[in-house]
Structure 1
Amino acid sequence: MNKISSGVITLAIVGKPNVGKSTFFNKVLNKDLSPVSEIPGTTKDLFIDNISYKNRIFKLIDSGGLKRKGKSKSDEQQYITKESLKAIYLADVVLFMIEADKEFTKTDKQICRLVL
């Protein structure tokens, strides 16, 4: 039996800064666990919590926003990127969030490549 059919399913939420990852995370959990702000880069660390749905346990991971490789030069952004990549690696399922009312960008494409 594989992990998804028998155990906890780990779901990582990833995307660019300020696309609603933390808001979604908090709403699903019905908690204010992850910080939410209009300021990009508010979420720096991974926020992790479990939720039970239809007799299954899901481990949700909220990550900081990913930027294009050339725009990730600060130590803070490199840390956020490292943590987000860790979330992708740990996940059984990755939820890649984008803003539906915005154009799909080069950064979105880079993030897609990381997920795949």
Structure 2
Amino acid sequence: MNRSLVFGALVATTLFGHAAFADTGLAGDISIDPHPIVSTRSRADVQKELAEYQRSGVNPWSIAYNPLRTFQSTRPRADVQQEYTSAREAVHALGGEDGGATWRAQHRSTPVDHGVATAAR
């Protein structure tokens, strides 16, 4: 009697368990999707874009990709160095523990309207 009860429970659990996990929707599920993919672009457009990419000779996913290889500055080096030197205090303060809150409070030049109504006392 106990053996048939245990066997019946095992069969019921197996049947209901398979029904519960019939369609998981998880990646790696080997079920066939009944809805075909509908492309928003034509094959010719995609092939044209691929040809342009291959013609450019630049692969941003390459280990040898160097976007600065052809960089040309529009400003003289002295100007950039002077700007960096003058902003050094602000950069140091903004990278501090409080995220620059103290420095911003001390160097606020114009009042900021946050759009919050204040109650009169």
TM-score category, normalised to shorter length: under 0.3
In the superposition, the TM-score normalised over structure 2's length comes to 0.18
> Structure 1 or 2: larger strand share?
1
TM-score normalised per structure 1: 0.19
Structure 1 or 2, whichever has the larger Rg, is 2
Q: Could you say which structure has the higher helix fraction? A: 2
Q: Which has the higher contact order (CA 8 A, sep 6+)?
A: 1
